[in-house]
Amino acid sequence: MKIHWLLCLLTALIGCKPQAPEPSPAAARPPNIVLFYVDDLGYGDLGCYGATGVATPHADRLAREGIRFTDAHSAAATCTPSRYALLTGTFAFRSQAAVLPGDAPLLIRPGTPTLPTLLQQAGYRTGVVGKWHLGLGSGNTDWNGEVRPGPLEIGFDYSFLLPATGDRVPTVYLEDHRVVGLTPEDSLRISYRTPFPGVPTGMDQPERLRQAADPQHSQAIVNGISRIGYQTGGASALWTDEDFPDIFTDKARAFIASAADQPFFLFFSFHDIHVPRLPHPRFQGVSEMGPRGDAIAQMDWMTGAILEELQRQGLAESTLVLFTSDNGPVLNDGYEDQAVARLGSHRPAGPFRGGKYSAFEAGTRVPLIAHWPGTITPGESQALISQTDFFASLATLAGVPLPEGAAPDSQDLSQALTRAGQPGSTLLLEEAMTLALRQGPYKYIPPSALPQAPAWLQQKGIEAGLSPLPQLYHLEEDPGETHNLAPQMPERVERMQQLLDSLVAPKNTKP
């Protein structure tokens, strides 16, 4: 009887173990992974999340055939920190990762465990195409020679990059270690400190500009748009913004075709819908919202073209597609492009308060769609999930264990990522101008030493979410964060502050 009882108990325990998603017959090898990482796309900027004024049929199809998440978050409310946390599984504040200038050295140092490095070890071919903004080189980069270290030194087999952002110099493409199209007789020089004599800037010659810009964005002029930073030379290598959708999409297609005979990871990092918004002529006027809406439509077309390449290669059912954004939305971010004037009834952040840069919910609450035909059952998920968790989750789906000490802040939420009914995290840290904490429906923002948003953020029309008093909101009842419950619930405030402190402490990084 004892033996029979023990056997039953053992069977029950085995049955309670979390089960990994069962692969479809077409997915005998580990799944290919395509991560669409849109820039500045808000929770409400897709049709499947309530967008008006612009059509997004390809993203909507992904949501219809996959899982649409309603409580997913970027790792931070700005771009560089989000990218850092996604690729390292480590909160950005631990390395003081902030928005980088265009000439910054590589932020993720070679030897750091990264998601692409881990996938390489599992036999994946890895590639990144699009915006980088994680620094390049070791400082004082010579753009006329080999630019290293870069993506190839931290786990990518191939890279084709916008080195920083569209509104920062250098305004050239970087393929692997070299600037594309640069000629020896016309060297490229970059400075973020001193203007080059005789070279026009947006500040001293605004009549050259197609879009008026604020002082921060009024330095080097390229393609009729002034940027952050100074630049001269390299005429044969300079990009034309309107070419981005075709060039980046073609590079992504070529990478997929080249890697079709083995598992691959493609990190497709859009420039859209970041400023400056200069969509290709075939997308101009397709939305009701001017350049920002047209850039959303352009982004959606690029998504569809890459999905079509997967279908052409016979890889759709063996590919996990994740579609998300690096932070919440922003309308006025340095250029006058009618983003505010032509908004109409569209709500970029959906029902949430704040936006890019903000500690309020719209700073990090972003679209997330998971698509894997034959493996993922379509549905909607309310699971609380952060992009910081992608590292451990994708490691599980790829069948590779995490190395000791890797991705200390990443949780394995592979079940939630691939099954709509599965629970997500119990705690989630939101990083903005301060650190905030989600616990179930509750959102806690601790008191801030800054009494209000800095002037530059106020000019963008975004609330920073800062207050000298603690803030506590119940998001199911109050998604707009309008009713501060902290005075009525001091015990919960104290508990959530203690939980936040435990997450911040290096000795206890896992939520």
Closest CA to 37 of 109, 107, 129: 129
Query: Any catalytic annotation for residue 8?
Result: no
The helices-and-strands tally (H runs, E runs) of the chain is 10, 20
Cα→Cα distances 402→81, 113, 310, 497, 511, Å: 22, 9, 28, 30, 17
User: Whose structure tokens read 């009713």?
Assistant: 483
Cα→Cα distances 219→192, 196, 199, 205, 206, Å: 10, 10, 10, 10, 10
How many of the other CB atoms lie within 10 Å of CB of 262? 12
- Residue 508 carries which DSSP code? -
CB 263, CB 124: distance < 8 Å: yes
Sort 166 into a burial class: Cβ within 10 Å, 0-12 / 13-18 / 19+: buried
How many of the other CB atoms lie within 10 Å of CB of 416? 25
**Which helix or strand (DSSP H or E) is residue 128 part of?**
strand 125-131
CA atoms within 13 A on the CB side of 218: 12
Single-letter residue type at 469? L
Q: Distance between CA atoms of 331 and 42, rounded to whole angstroms?
A: 10
Q: What is the token pair recorded at 115?
A: 């998601």
List residues bridging with 220 in a β-sheet.
Answer: 201
Apex 174 CA angle, 168 and 176, nearest 5: 145
Q: What is the dihedral of CA 85, 87, 88, 92, to 10 degrees?
A: -20
Pick the catalytic residue: 58, 73, 133, 346?
133
Pick the catalytic residue: 79, 217, 271, 274?
79
Query: Any catalytic annotation for residue 48?
Result: no
Cα→Cα distances 243→128, 246, 263, 280, 297, Å: 18, 6, 29, 6, 15
3-class DSSP assignment, residue 431: strand
CB 154, CB 114: distance < 8 Å: yes
Q: Report, as residue numbers or ranges, the catalytic residues.
A: 79, 133
